[in-house]
Amino acid sequence: MKKILLILLMMLMFQPVLAAELDFYPNEKAFESFLDNGRSYHVLPGESEYSKAWAKYLDEKLSRFKEKGEDTIVLVGNVYENSKMMEFWHLTGLPYEASLKPSVIVLDNVVFFTGSEENMYLIERAFSQKYAFRTQEVYGSFLIGILLVILFTFIFSKNGVYTHFFYISTVALIVLWFFNSNLFMIDEGFLRSTFQDALLGKERTPLTWVFGLYFSIYSPSEEALFILHLFLLFLIATLLFFIAPKSYRELGFLVFGLTFASPTFRHSLENFNESLFEVFILVIVLGIILNAMFTEETTKSIKRTGVLSFITIFGALIRPYFVLIPFFMFLAFPTKSMRNYLYLGLTVIGLLVGSLYFKIPFPKWPLDANFDYLILFVKEAFIQLILIIYVVFNFKTLIMRMRGGKALLFYLFLSLLVLLPVIPEIFPALILVSSGLVVRLILLFQASSLGGEANLQEL
């Protein structure tokens, strides 16, 4: 029987390694039994930097299932850099080269988490969808969530008769969607880059820096990201209400509906990845611009502009198109105030300084256009496109002289639409911007039809 198992393992070992492939020996049930057997464990990493980083993750993760002790040795890395693994490796009956492949090998008193620097991150897949929340995490998150819902419900109750009812419905829909889906997991690209770099202490991107701080406060585990994921979705849905004009805040529910009606948009947020943060930062930037008062040359206005610039810079270091927003401010909000110059100057300088420390994901040159996503956008944002085209062609005069939030969203919509074939990652942002734009254009049409010229600037 041992020979048969050995032959099967050898066959698996020499097969090409596919993306997101993690092998279990003798099988995944043996690993699940290890998690539930009640025996204590202690983790021993190798000498390499990546081995120590992932050992830290494993120590934290296993502590949610088991007590720390001396019953079971958990070895991390491979035989070439972990002397203890070399000592016990003969128990597996495998050649040394097999330890370079991402795998989980469960024996009686020893468990091996193997891999090399290129694929060690795949050991996380052993715990994907395996959660063990601590009591304080559950009650703490629930309490914070309830307090935030109450706070925003109170805020929205002052913006229209029904806004807070629509808001509560939105929160309920987000919670139902989140807890009735099994697709929420850490994206492989995010796992390989940002998550692993945060464990290693390498600040290659702004997100790596943020997660380095997050993991120093909270545990580097799926549970920590699950809770953060839920709160980010909740905040995105909440901030969408601030895309609608203040006097028509209840239409934030329409912005939410049009945005989340896109299957691709929802899918982009189902996995924990950069798109989640891109959308989150975008709704914050738009929410500040569309709601804050910047007209006066006051210390408060300067502080707001500074905060707005910092958030925009952070977004631009993730997706460079964010740097377009300060330029569009000149067109959408023409004013003699220094606000626009300050916003543009701080953003450009911040982006240049940030590029010295972080790697900015500019599209590779020459640009390779792929119109599949443009076609997909037409299919999934058909309602928005029809309404936008209708308003543009029937109210050309109004469109040419419109200012304010509607103009900013219109310019941003056109630029993202042009960039979509060469930067498909901006698809979620385009869906969001088009949904906010169509709501404001509908109100523009309504105000002009009713002769409400005085209210046009608010839109």
Q: How far apart are CA 7 and CA 26, in angstroms?
A: 12
Q: Is the distance from CB of 438 to CB of 406 less than 8 angstroms?
A: no
Q: How far apart are CA 319 and CA 313, in angstroms?
A: 10
Q: Is the distance from CB of 50 to CB of 78 less than 8 angstroms?
A: no
Extract the tokens encoding 270. 């189902």
Q: Is the distance from CB of 116 to CB of 78 less than 8 angstroms?
A: yes
Burial code (b: 16+ CB inside 10 Å, e: under 16) for 140-174 equals: ebeeebeeebeebeebbeebbeebbebbeebbeeb
* Residue-by-residue pLDDT tens, the chain, 459 positions: 343 333 333 333 333 333 448 899 888 899 999 999 889 999 999 999 999 999 999 999 999 999 999 899 999 999 999 999 999 999 888 899 999 999 999 998 999 999 999 999 999 999 988 888 999 989 999 999 999 999 999 999 887 778 889 999 999 999 888 878 766 788 888 999 899 999 988 878 889 989 988 888 888 989 999 999 999 999 999 999 999 988 889 999 999 999 999 999 999 998 898 899 999 999 999 999 998 766 556 777 788 888 999 999 999 998 889 999 999 988 888 776 778 888 889 999 998 888 888 877 777 766 677 889 999 999 999 999 998 888 878 776 666 677 888 889 999 999 999 999 988 999 999 999 999 999 988 877 665 555 544 454 455
Closest CA to 67 of 78, 76, 59: 59
Extract the tokens encoding 282. 């975008």
**72-77 sheet: strands from edge to edge:** 23-25, 103-106, 110-114, 72-77, 41-44
Question: What's the one-letter identity of residue 317?
Answer: L
Closest CA to 436 of 174, 169, 241: 241
Residues paired with residue 23 on neighbouring β-strands, in sequence order: 103
Q: How far apart are CA 263 and CA 386, in angstroms?
A: 19
Element (H, E) at 348: helix 339-357
Q: What is the pTM for the complete model shown? A: 0.87
Look at the block and give the residue holding tokens 């006097």: 247
Q: Is the distance from CB of 424 to CB of 265 less than 8 angstroms?
A: no
